[in-house]
């Protein structure tokens, strides 16, 4: 990633807990941002946080993906450590989806937060009818033009999508969205009643997060505006009509390889909920 922008208070806004609709209690002061915890449900979030227009500028920066997995993929550095991990995650997550469905690959798969399209391309190769949504214009353009993928550039709720997806994926996405409850409700409206939702996020009660505090490398208050635990994931998903059925935190598991502070979750629609 390029050198972080020097954000000011004018770029930020105060928000409340998306579950309880109350302000958070300050945990870390990272001016102009604040890391806060809801006094009722313990969800950790950023307030003040970047306004939507400032956040869009961040994601539209051509350097946003530089120096990480996507940079390696775009530059075809096929043996880079980042790309080796990317391949491990992709294979592990596709295998996890097959196990959870107890079916071979096939059907409709949606990825929200598709980045440069690396996972979607692998899903398509595995036999899925794959489509995606990506907020970054840089990422979406690469997925569309270079990989030939069906990727909508914009917010999920604005995407022209036909409901009934067999699988909806959101890899390292939920921590970025303006309102996770609204996000998961939109996902619930798109996934089939017998479908599966799979996702990954950092988690704030991981060992690195607890030991490092403000030095936690995944804190990133400009872009990671929600910080979850398995408990708060379950609360948020239930509010949206989804049940959290599995959490993978083991960094040796292929779906979560090498990730000491991230988890992979599986959720399913709650019958009758919408």
Mean pLDDT of 25-45: 97
> What's the confidence (pLDDT) of residue 67?
47
pLDDT band at 274 (very low <50, low <70, confident <90, very high): low
Predicted confidence at residue 3, as pLDDT, reads 40
Nearest to 167 by CA among 110, 89, 93, 95: 110
- The confidence score (pLDDT) of residue 55 equals 85
CA distances from 181 to 72, 91, 191, 224, 260 (A): 33, 29, 15, 16, 26
Sign of the CA dihedral running 123, 195, 110, 58: negative
pLDDT surpasses 80 at 221: yes
Which domains does the chain show, CATH number per domain? 21-269 (3.40.50.150)
Higher pLDDT pick, 130 / 1: 130
Distance of CA 206 to the CA centre of its chain: 17
CA distances from 210 to 42, 47, 205, 213, 227 (A): 15, 20, 6, 6, 12
| Distance in angstroms (rounded) separating the CA atoms of residues 128 and 27 | 43
Q: Report yes or no: 151 and 117 within 8 Å, Cβ to Cβ.
A: yes
Q: Of 27, 24, 52, whose CA–CA distance to 38 is shortest?
A: 24
Q: What is the pLDDT of residues 65-103, one digit of tens each?
A: 554 444 444 544 456 778 888 899 999 999 999 999 988
Point out the least confidently predicted range of 1-5, 178-182, 197-201, 244-248: 1-5
pLDDT in tens, 132-164: 999 888 899 999 999 999 999 999 999 999 999
Specify the pLDDT at position 184.
98
Query: Band of the pLDDT at 263, cuts 50, 70, 90?
Result: very high
Average pLDDT estimate for 219-242:
97
User: Which has more confidence, 258 or 59?
Assistant: 258
* Count of other CB atoms within 10 angstroms of residue 240: 23
Q: Grade residue 27 by pLDDT with cuts at 50, 70 and 90.
A: very high
What is the rounded CA–CA span in Å between residue 9 and residue 152? Answer: 32
Q: Can you give the pTM of this predicted structure? A: 0.91
**10 Å Cβ neighbour count for 265?**
24
Closest CA to 150 of 127, 171, 124: 124
**Averaged over 49-76, what is the pLDDT?**
66
Q: Supply the mean pLDDT for the chain.
A: 91
């Amino acid at each position: 990633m390029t050198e972080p922008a020097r954000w000011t208070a004018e770029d930020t806004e105060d928000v409340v807990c998306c579950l309880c609709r109350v302000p958070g209690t300050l945990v870390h002061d990272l001016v102009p941002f604040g890391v806060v915890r809801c006094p009722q449900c313990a969800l950790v979030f950023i307030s003040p946080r970047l306004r939507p227009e400032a956040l869009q500028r961040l994601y539209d920066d051509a350097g946003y993906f530089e120096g990480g997995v996507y940079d390696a993929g775009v530059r075809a550095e096929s043996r880079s450590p980042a790309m080796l991990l990317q391949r491990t995650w992709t294979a592990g997550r596709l295998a996890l989806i097959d196990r959870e469905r107890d079916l071979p690959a096939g059907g409709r798969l949606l990825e929200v937060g598709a980045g440069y399209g690396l996972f979607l391309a692998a899903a398509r190769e595995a036999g899925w009818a794959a489509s995606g949504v990506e907020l970054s214009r840089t990422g979406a353009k690469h997925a569309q033009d270079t990989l030939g993928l069906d990727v909508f550039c914009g917010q999920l709720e604005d995407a022209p999508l036909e409901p009934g997806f067999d699988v909806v994926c959101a890899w390292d996405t939920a921590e970025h969205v303006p309102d996770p409850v609204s996000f998961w409700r939109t996902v619930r409206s798109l996934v089939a009643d017998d479908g599966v939702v799979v996702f990954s996020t950092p988690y704030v009660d991981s060992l690195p997060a607890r030991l490092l505090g403000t030095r936690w490398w995944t804190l990133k208050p400009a872009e990671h505006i929600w910080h979850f635990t398995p408990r708060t994931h379950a609360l948020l998903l239930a509010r949206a009509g989804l049940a959290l059925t599995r959490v993978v935190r083991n960094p040796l598991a292929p779906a979560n390889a090498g990730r000491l502070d991230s988890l992979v979750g599986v959720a399913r629609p709650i019958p009758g909920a919408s």
